[in-house]
Amino acid sequence: MKRICLILFIILFSKTLLFAQSDPTQIFKQANEFYAQKDYVKAIENYNHLINQGIISANIYFNLANSYYRNNNIGKAILYYNRAKRLDPNDYDINSNLQIAKLKTIDKIQPLPKFFLTEWVEDISKSQSPETFGVVSIIFSFLGFGLLTLYIYSRKAKWKRISFFSGIVSLLIMIAFLLLAFKGNSYRLSDNEGIVIPASIYIKSSPDKSSTDLFILHEGTEIEVLDKVSNWSRIRIANGNQGWIEDMDFEKI
């Protein structure tokens, strides 16, 4: 009987230990401890373990990016800073660390100028989360319909004019924020942006290793994916130059 109890105790203890090791909170805490101890390799392993379990958050991406940065892996750092930014675009630390990491990249590419209105809308849509724009849109929808209701039931001409025009303006603002929410969500879900991972890679004229070298890109450079053929992707960089790169040489944001 004692032997049976001992075996049951060992099994129960093993399961408890296994559960503790797989508990996301404990893994995250352990990863943070490894980072504090400057064991960045183990910190990276733990953060990646959480992501592989399907646990995704701006904090995990941000901490993983910091670990890669400290481990001198700039490409991966920029990749995960960008992923964190998509989830929390207004976070000061994420944006600051992303800019610091970009200072370590070799390629300093001058982007093509955009129409000012297009650039303005893109900047605004990326400045806040889609959820934030959605909440503001809902607030203005209630305000707009409330003012129009006041217009219908008001008996004074002055209040009818004020409530009518204010209601129309509120509904227009609601539509504007709703469009920003859709655009922001489209940006978050888009998979046409990537980061070059190897230290350097030649961009080819066609999806073939024996094709002509067009130009060279280095670790951490941002690219836009335009097309895909087999295990190759046609990409464009900020200055408009295009070419082909193997899929294993970049990761999508």
**Co-location of 180 and 197 in the same domain:** no
Number of domains the chain contains:
3
Q: Please indicate, yes or no, whether residues 226 and 178 belong to a single structural domain of this protein.
A: no
Question: For the chain, what is the mean pLDDT?
Answer: 88
Do 153 and 123 have their domain in common?
yes
- CATH value at residue 84: 1.25.40.10
221 and 170 within one domain: no
Same domain, 125 and 42: no
Q: What share of the chain has pLDDT > 90, as a percent? A: 65
Of residues 130 and 99, the one with the higher pLDDT is: 99
**Whether residue 179 sits in one domain with residue 204:** no
Render pLDDT for 74-101 as a digit per residue (tens, 0 to 9). Answer: 999 999 999 999 989 889 999 999 999 9
Whether 214 and 234 map to the same domain: the answer is yes
Q: Which long-range contacts (CB under 8 A, 24 or more apart) does 235-243 make?
A: 235/194, 235/203, 237/107, 237/109, 238/109, 238/110, 238/111, 238/112, 239/109, 239/110, 239/111, 239/112, 240/112, 241/203, 241/214, 241/215, 243/203, 243/204, 243/205, 243/214, 243/215
Among 157, 189, 221, identify where a domain stops.
189
Would you say residue 151 lies in a domain?
yes
The boundaries of the domain holding residue 17 are 2-102
Query: Is residue 109 one of the residues assigned to a domain?
Result: no
Q: Are 229 and 242 members of one domain? A: yes
Tokens, residue 156: 């004074």
Among 49, 73, 102, the domain-final residue is 102
Asked whether residue 44 is assigned to any structural domain, the reply reads yes
Pair (205, 165) in one structural domain: no
| For range 113-142, the mean pLDDT | 85
Same domain, 24 and 93: yes
Residue 182 located in a structural domain: yes
Q: Last residue of some domain: 47, 77, 102?
A: 102
Question: pLDDT value at position 95?
Answer: 94
Q: What is the pLDDT of residues 137-177, one digit of tens each?
A: 999 999 999 998 988 888 888 888 999 999 999 999 999 99
**Which pLDDT does position 82 carry in this prediction?**
95
Query: Does residue 105 surpass a pLDDT of 60?
Result: yes
Q: Give the pLDDT confidence score for residue 131 in this predicted structure.
A: 87
* pLDDT the model gives residue 191: 79
Question: 121 with 57, same domain?
Answer: no
* 168, 205: one domain: no
- Residues 8-59: pLDDT tens digits? 444 444 444 444 456 888 999 999 999 999 999 999 999 999 999 999 899 9
Question: Domain for residue 74, yes or no?
Answer: yes
Residue 198 clears pLDDT 90, i.e. is over it: yes
Q: Is the pLDDT of residue 6 over 80?
A: no
Contact 187, 86 (CB under 8 A): yes
Look at residue 22 in the predicted model and tell me its pLDDT: 66
Task: Give the range among 5-14, 95-104, 205-214, 238-247 with minimum mean pLDDT.
Answer: 5-14
CATH number of the domain at 225, please.
2.30.30.40
